Amino acid sequence: MRRIISLLLENEPGALSRVVGLFSQRGYNIESLNVAATEDPTLSRLTLTTQGDDHVIEQITKHLNKLIDVVKLVDLTEGAHIERELMLVKVRATGAQRAEIKRCTDVFRGQIVDVGPTVYTVQITGASDKLDAFLEAVGDAAVLEVVRSGVSGIARGEKVLSL
Amino acid sequence: MELLSGGDMVAQALEDEGVEFIFGYPGGAVLHIYDALFKRSKIPHILTRHEQAATHAADAYSRATGKTGVVLVTSGPGATNAITGIATAYMDSIPMVVLSGQVATHLIGEDAFQETDMIGVSRPIVKHSFLVKRQSDIPETIKKAFYIAASGRPGPVVVDLPKDITNPFDKFEYNYPKKVKLRSYAPATRGHAGQIKKAVSLLLAAQRPVIYSGGGVVQGNGSDLLTKLARELNFPVTSTLMGLGAYPADKQFLGMLGMHGFYEANMAMHEADVVLAIGARFDDRVTNTPKKFCPGAKIIHIDIDPAAISKTITADVPIVGPVDSVLSDVLELLSEARKEGGDTDKAALAQWWKTIDGWREHAGLWTKPRYDQSSALIKPQWAIETLYKVTKGDAYITSDVGQHQMFAAQYYRFNKPRRWINSGGLGTMGFGFPAAMGVKLAFPDADVACVTGEGSIQMNIQELSTCTQYKIPVKIINLNNGYLGMVKQWQDMQYEGRYSHSTYEDSLPDFVKLVEAYGHVGIRVDKKEDLEDAMKEAFALKDRLVFMDIHVDPHEHVYPMLIAPNGSMRDMWLSKTERT
């Protein structure tokens, strides 16, 4: 099962490598990862997606919690949450395709953020499956380059991951 | 407020921490620190002959005393040589602080002379690590290192110190914190009351209980409480390799369990209905095939580390907390339950003990000799039993890794915690001798013997020189069978006796001459009838290192031995020809 694990990490050199190292060391898989400082500059927020059954996820969260640099951790998939990923995709856009891609972008509520004589660069935000669906819709042949941010997430409602 | 240089701060912090010994080896990046140590000359420093030996000595000092071991090494090769010792301590959860030199901060990343990314190299084998970037951070970082190493589930902590921040010219305010708090680190201090209650009712209802005690009982100083609990309940106790000595070798003790565990211990685990695991981690050397482990048992698991619980074997009652506090709570609830008329099932227990005694009679190692006592050759088991007799069971025994380690674990009946010092998790050959040095320095009046083999001892034999320099009179019990014995055993059992690179083709040194060259005493023993007197002579030489080169039967195997793959704990070889 796919899980989104989000954590607050000491914003210190080496902290990220401990998190990433844990996954390779223990044979777990990271599907996506993003990390940046929070409003408190001493803390980073790191969000990763991984696959595993309940036993594996329990081990992952326990081992992450054991890292001295990890301050707090939440498995967002355990409750209602909002998931977003940003994608920038460069697609071939010539002739009739130009209009088709524009339409497709509108359908997915994306934006064309750069225009060239033969290419568009499209920006799309949403859950990962929406981004996948867009790529499928425009087709492999048109896609020249894909850049995805990895998943960010936050719990719905009053729940807050903070100190 | 005192102004100190970085080098002085390191030395002062170690003094403030109450450090008794530093085990180390100087080099370019730590020269400022070494100069500070020279000028202050407060903490004795033991110059080993290899950084690996320094880490093992510090590690064993910690295992024997319960205090944190301290290592000081230089950058690059000094740091990488320490790696095996750090990994050894990590696998067995031993508190250790390793101070490593680093090239100057402006050179980091430039492939400077003797530069290694120590933080990166050590990352998977440390509890935590620090690269200190500013002089003023030194005191607090060292305080944190000691706090993290010794608290919770203990482990090694590396503090990497670039040379420039220890220079003698720049001085800063020194203030050693009395306490540190880390917002992201709070080890459990009490077990969950509800879970403990559940555990107690399971224990009281048990028909075929076993207490499975591990290294955590030794590390967590839970030995007395475990003994009290086991005796109050009249439950059988088995111990992992790491836990030996936490419970004394009395009639309730089933011996070690696992790969080379006692028949009665492995059988009892397999047949148990309630297993109380304390500070043990269901290691693969214990469980055999996890799916077939304890098929009928409810499992109560007490451990300080939540990640150890339900890692390989799912716990029915998980209890996260320090072993001493949890066991006190268990004992308290037990006496409350008794006041209300609750008690163990005495009839069921009597039946259970009868079954266990049957197993003991059938194949127990302590019930009657299970090796050939009429053999003219010295059997390694017999050598260990002689060692037990001569030292009256009261020595500190360190060991290397292999057959001799298993024989020592089986036949030296440990009655006290912290007396059996071996590398269980990593299985590091070369551990035993430097470990004995660390223990002997901590307890100069105690008998300290390193049980080893001609393979392992040669992995850190250079320490004979260290023992000459500091007059460390340990005894080395070398069970010399001319083979890498455990490798040979597996090759006998699984590779039709093809001894691929497990012998030395007459290249072994004359160990007696070798140790004499270092100024020590060597005794070679070939004859069975000479062994006991020779051993008495060795231990009578209180102030000399004595190397006993004991030539044992080269073809002896360690039994029992769990049958893998796909075996359960009741599937064992009991001898070369007999299996369960």
Return d(Cα B505, Cα B24) in angstroms, integer.
35
* pLDDT band, very low/low/confident/very high, at B203 (cuts 50, 70, 90): very high
Which residues of chain A are within 8 Å of residue B129 when distances are taken between CB atoms? 14
Confidence at A163, pLDDT banded by 50, 70, 90: confident
Asked if B564 has any chain A CB less than 8 Å from its own CB, the reply is no
How far from B388 is each of B16, B57, B207, CA to CA, in Å? 39, 23, 35
Flag if A17 and B183 touch (Cβ within 8 Å): no
DSSP E strands, B114-271? 128-131, 156-162, 171-174, 209-213, 237-239, 253-256
Q: How far apart are CA A101 and CA B570, in angstroms?
A: 67
Q: What angle do CA B472, B477, B482 make, to 5 degrees?
A: 130
Structure tokens at B572: 């064992």
> By the CB < 8 Å criterion, does B192 face chain A?
no
Indicate which residue of B163, B298, B379, B440 is catalytic. B163
The order of strands in the sheet holding A70-75 is: A32-37, A43-51, A2-10, A70-75
Do A68 and B184 make contact, defined as CB atoms within 8 angstroms?
A: yes
Closest residue by Cα to residue B99 from B120, B79, B122: B79
Q: Smallest Cα–Cα separation from B401: which of B423, B379, B373?
A: B423
pLDDT at B1 over 80: no
Helix axes of B528-540 and B380-390: crossing angle, nearest 10 degrees? 40
Taking an 8 Å cut-off on Cβ atoms, the answer to whether A25 and B124 are in contact is yes
What distances in angstroms separate CA B278 from CA B217, B243, B247, B293, B323, one per listed residue?
Answer: 7, 10, 12, 17, 7
Active site annotation includes B140? no
Chain A residues close to B123, C-beta within 8 Å: 14, 17-18, 21
Model confidence over B20-35: pLDDT tens digits? 999 999 999 999 999 9
**Is B486 tagged catalytic?**
yes
Residue B114: active-site member: yes
pLDDT of amino acid B548: 98
Is the CB of B184 less than 8 angstroms away from the CB of A69?
yes
Is pLDDT of B250 > 80? Answer: yes
pLDDT digits (tens, 9 = 90+) for A74-96: 999 999 999 999 999 999 999 99
Section B411-429 average pLDDT = 98
The confidence score (pLDDT) of residue B439 equals: 98
Report CB contact under 8 Å: B123, A21: yes
User: How many beta-carbon contacts under 8 Å exist across A and B?
Assistant: 36
Is some CB atom of chain B closer than 8 A to the CB atom of A71?
A: yes
Closest CA relative to residue B48, chosen from B59, B33, B32: B59
pLDDT in tens, B432-446: 999 999 999 999 999
Residue B239 near residue B257 (C-beta atoms within 8 A): yes
Give residue B505's pLDDT band: very low, low, confident or very high (50, 70, 90).
confident
Q: Which chain B residues are closer than 8 Å to A66 by Cβ?
A: 305-307
Q: Which of B19, B124, B34 is nearest to B74 (CA)?
A: B34
Q: Do A62 and B148 touch (CB under 8 A)?
A: no
Which of A66, A67, A69, A161 has the highest number of chain B CBs within 10 A, making it the mutation to test binding with B? A66
- Token look-up 């080269």 returns B554
> Between β-strands B22-25 and B69-73, what pairing exists: parallel, antiparallel or unpaired?
parallel
Q: Percent of chain B scored above 90 by pLDDT?
A: 98
Query: pLDDT for A86-122, tens place per residue?
Result: 999 999 999 999 999 999 999 999 999 999 999 999 9
Is A17 in Cβ contact with B307 (below 8 Å)? no
DSSP secondary structure string for all residues of B395-446: SEEEE-SSHHHHHHHHHS---STT-EE---SS--TT-HHHHHHHHHHH-TTS
Residue B2 reports pLDDT greater than 90: no
Say how far apart CA B240 and CA B501 lie, in whole Å. Answer: 30
Cβ partners under 8 Å of residue B102, min gap 6? B29, B75, B108, B115, B118, B131, B160, B161, B162, B163
Q: What are phi and psi of B112, to 5 degrees?
A: -70, 165
Is residue B336 annotated as part of the catalytic site, yes or no?
no
**How confident is residue B84, by pLDDT bands cut at 50, 70 and 90?**
very high
Is the CB of B184 less than 8 angstroms away from the CB of A10?
yes
Q: How far apart are CA B563 and CA A99, in angstroms?
A: 69
Euclidean distance between CA atoms B328 and B335, whole angstroms: 11
Nearest residue in chain A measured CA to CA from B119: A14
For residue A13, what pLDDT is reported? 86
- Are the C-beta atoms of residues B552 and B525 closer than 8 Å to each other? no
Cβ-in-10-Å burial (0-12, 13-18, 19+) of A129 comes to: exposed
A119-126 vs B22-25, strand pairing mode: unpaired
b or e along B244-272 (b: 16 or more beta carbons within 10 Å of the residue's beta carbon)?
bbbbbbeebbbbbbbbbbbbbbbbbbbbb
Average pLDDT rounded to a whole number, residues B402-430? 98
Helix axes B403-411, B380-390, angle to 10 degrees: 50
Widest Cα–Cα separation across chain B: 76
A41 contacts chain B (CB < 8 A)? no
User: Cβ–Cβ of A14/B119 closer than 8 Å?
Assistant: yes
Asked if pLDDT for residue B498 goes beyond 90, the answer is yes
pLDDT digits (tens, 9 = 90+) for B272-319: 999 999 999 999 999 999 999 999 999 999 999 999 999 999 999 999
- For residue B465, give Cα distances in angstroms to B383, B449, B569: 26, 17, 44
Q: What is the pLDDT of residue A103?
A: 96
- The verdict on a CB contact (< 8 Å) between A68 and B306 is no
ipTM for this model: 0.93
- Choose the catalytic residue: B42, B113, B291, B513: B113
- Check CB contact of A70 with chain B, cutoff 8 Å: yes
Contact B307 A62 (CB under 8 A): yes
Interface of A with B in 8-27 (CB under 8 A): 10, 13-14, 17-18, 21, 25
* Residue B127 in contact with partner chain A when CB distance is under 8 A: yes
Check B310 against A55: CB less than 8 A apart: yes
The reply to whether B242 belongs to the active site is: no
Query: Which residues, listed in sequence order, are joined to residue B451 by a DSSP beta bridge?
Result: B399, B477
Output the pTM of the full model. 0.96
Sheet holding B156-162, edge to edge: B45-47, B22-25, B69-73, B96-102, B156-162, B128-131
Q: What does the pLDDT read at residue A105?
A: 97
State the pLDDT confidence band at B106, using cuts at 50, 70 and 90. Answer: very high
Q: Which one of B17, B51, B115, B271 is the catalytic residue?
A: B51
A69 in contact with B, Cβ within 8 Å: yes
The predicted model gives B197-210 an average pLDDT of: 97
C-beta neighbour count of A144 within 10 angstroms: 14
Contacting residues of A for B307, CB less than 8 Å apart: 59, 62-63, 65-66
How many angstroms separate the CA atoms of A82 and B326, rounded? 40
Residue B387's closest CA among B198, B259, B548? B548
Assess B180–A contact: CB distance below 8 Å, yes or no. Answer: no
Active-site residue, from B20, B67, B114, B539: B114
